[in-house]
Amino acid sequence: MPRRNNRYVLAGILVGLLVLAGFLLRAVITTAFFAITVAYVLHPMREYLRRRGLSRRWSAAALAVGAFGIVLTGLGLAAFSLYRRRDAVIALITEFPSEFTVQFATFSYTLERATFVEPLAGVVREIAVSAASAAPVLGLKLLLFSLIVYGLLLRPGAVSQTVFTVVPRRYHDIVERFHLRMRDTLYGIYILQAATAAGTFLVALITFLPLGYPAPFTLALIAGGLQFIPILGPGVLLGVLAVADILAGNIGRAVLVAVVGGVLIGLVPDMVIRPRLASYAADLPVTLYFVGFVGGILSLGVIGFIAGPLIVALVVEAVALASVHEDSQQSTF
């Protein structure tokens, strides 16, 4: 009995410390969550490297550096692509007519280019300054991300040992079921997101090429990358292109990119690719996956596209375990 009480006290202290740590470290809680989920996904790769003879330190270091490099490469490629295509952006702005007249019935209003180019330039400058000032913070978060991934992959058994210590032995199989469900769901979510982004890139490239946009590959790359930014998505890019075409007097292309691009780039990847892969990759019914995906994004922001489906998957697993327990009790009676 004293041992059981000690275990409950230890579990209560652990939960309290986790809540306190989450409150005090809320500025990096998103980074830590992403790192934990990535470590979950990379753990099978770590075991593979260990079986190939690599030490646990080198296995963890190689995977942590690889994850850090992938994130850094993605950000660097996006920044480099925008920098290389700066002339195309400037050319697009300079193509705007000096005056733009809006007519509706007998009413007409003339808008000079300077009235919107200058505010736009100011917004771009503010974004550039904000990005430059946030660069050190982003660098620290990337470093923290890689350190957490390295630590979890270096001693993956330490976390499970702590959990099994505070959980009574008769519930260890339940913890193991939740662990397996979490691992499979996270693996599926990342694969699903990457597949949706890749599909968006291909569809966007096929769409932008016949429309005659400069740098279609870069625009398609941006559209695919925006799939990793929930709520915004590639619709932001399509809106910017449509507005730019309207201001430049190219109404036909503006309508095409808004309608055709909105359907092919904005809707097809989310309505076709994601549902078809959701039941296979994330091992969830399509309806439940979208409940978790949309609810997580609206409630938690960027982190929600992972946390939402993950919570739904754990709820489904809990219901399955409860039904199995109920069936076993009924069969006993």
Which range is least confidently modeled, 8-22, 67-81, 95-109, 226-240? 95-109
Expressed in percent and rounded to 5, the helix, strand and coil fractions of the chain are 85, 5, 10
| pLDDT tier at 330, thresholds 50, 70, 90 | low
State the DSSP string of 46-108: HHHHHHTT--HHHHHHHHHHHHHHHHHHHHHHHHHHHHHTHHHHHHHHHTS-SEEEEEETTEE
Does residue 314 surpass a pLDDT of 80? yes
Considering the chain, what is the average pLDDT of its residues?
A: 77
- pLDDT value at residue 96: 59
Instruction: Tell me if 113 sits within 8 A of 96, measured CB to CB.
Output: yes
Beta bridge partners of 107: 104
CA 128 to mean position of chain CA atoms: 23
Q: Give me the sign of the Cα torsion angle 219, 222, 227, 233.
A: negative
| pLDDT tier at 290, thresholds 50, 70, 90 | confident
- pLDDT value at residue 244: 77
> pLDDT tens across 151-194, in order?
888 887 777 777 777 777 887 888 888 888 888 888 888 888 88
Q: Kindly state the percentage of the chain with pLDDT values over 90.
A: 1
Residue 12: how many other CB atoms lie within 10 Å: 11
Task: Name the DSSP letter for residue 60.
Answer: H
Task: Name the DSSP letter for residue 284.
Answer: S
- pLDDT value at residue 323: 76
Task: Please measure the distance between the N-terminal and C-terminal CA atoms of the chain and give it in whole angstroms.
Answer: 29
Residue ranges of domains in the chain: 25-166, 169-333
Does residue 209 surpass a pLDDT of 80? yes
**Nearest in space to 270 (alpha carbons), one of 289, 243, 249:** 289
- pLDDT value at residue 102: 60
> pLDDT tens across 17-38, in order?
878 877 777 778 888 888 888 8
Helical packing angle, 216-226 and 235-247, nearest 10°? 140
- pLDDT value at residue 128: 64
**Nearest in space to 262 (alpha carbons), one of 289, 287, 233:** 233
Tokens of 70: 């992938």
> 0.85 exceeded by the pTM?
no
- pLDDT value at residue 230: 65
Backbone φ and ψ of 111, nearest 5°: -115, 125
Mean pLDDT of 223-245: 80
- pLDDT value at residue 105: 58
